[in-house]
A = this chain, B = another copy of it.
Amino acid sequence: MKLMTLSEISQRLESYEETIVFKLIDRAQFAANGIIYERGKSGFKGAGNLSLLELRLQFQEQMDTQFGKYCVPDERPFIKSSSAPRRKAMVDDRGILIEDCNVINLTEDIMRGYRAIIPLICEAVDDGHYGSAVEHDVYALQAISRRIHFGSLYAAEAKYTADPEGFRKLIDANDHEGLMKRLTRKTVEDNIISRVREKTIATQALVNREIRRAIKPEVVVQFYEECIIPLTKRGQVQYLLNRKEPESHAA
């Protein structure tokens, strides 16, 4: 059980930025296709009231579960699954001190935030490519969710370790606002924002815009500012409020 340093965690979060940018660009190659988000309009017989996206998530996550994806603390399904993994995944908790990682589950907020940027990155029409659109929705959602849940768990623990007394007081007082304030590192956030802006520009520098849709760097910036960063911090607060010292230490 080796605790990652805050710097190692930040580096991991930084390395997820390209992945998120790539997934958003890939999704933008298909139209918004609003119908794929409408409940009961999946076009699947017997699929009841699910939207096509929810159905795709269900299929994907059932598959991923079998491959051991949700055995890792920072992976979280969007739709509850009842099946058990068929292969043992490498579970590496690296010092997460919480009884049930699933207490921190931001998938609903992630879905809301993601749905909000679809009209900003995709063409506001229906191109009929519903299957491809939900496929790319799933990949984007998974990359975003992993970034947020990884940051929620590991960064919170590392921040706590750097100042146990300060955090203990806020946790004992159940002081959400105080915790949020203490977790915030404005310079780090500013760096993230300018990095994702520049990466979105660089990634699309040679795109032929007549044949491939580009996404606006400011949309990615806004998404980080209004969704990814605040949700990661909300997850950190949840982690800290549910954090439990191991018995041997507490004795």
Contacts and interface: CB of A to CB of B under 8 A. Distances in A.
A108 to B, nearest CB: 23
A222 interface: no
Contacts of A68: 131
A42 to B, nearest CB: 7
Contacts of A212: 14-15, 18
A22 B200 CA distance: 13
Contact of A56 (B67, B128, B195, B203): B67
B211 A206 contact: no
* Copies of the polypeptide in the assembly: 2
Interface residues of A, number: 48
B42 A29 contact: no
Interface in A89-119: 89-90
A52 B86 CA distance: 12
A245 interface: no
A29 B15 contact: yes
Given A59-B66, A87-B130, A87-B131, 14 more contacts: A11-B211, A12-B211, A14-B208, A15-B211, A15-B212, A19-B26, A19-B29, A44-B66, A59-B63, A67-B134, A199-B206, A202-B202, A202-B203, A203-B203
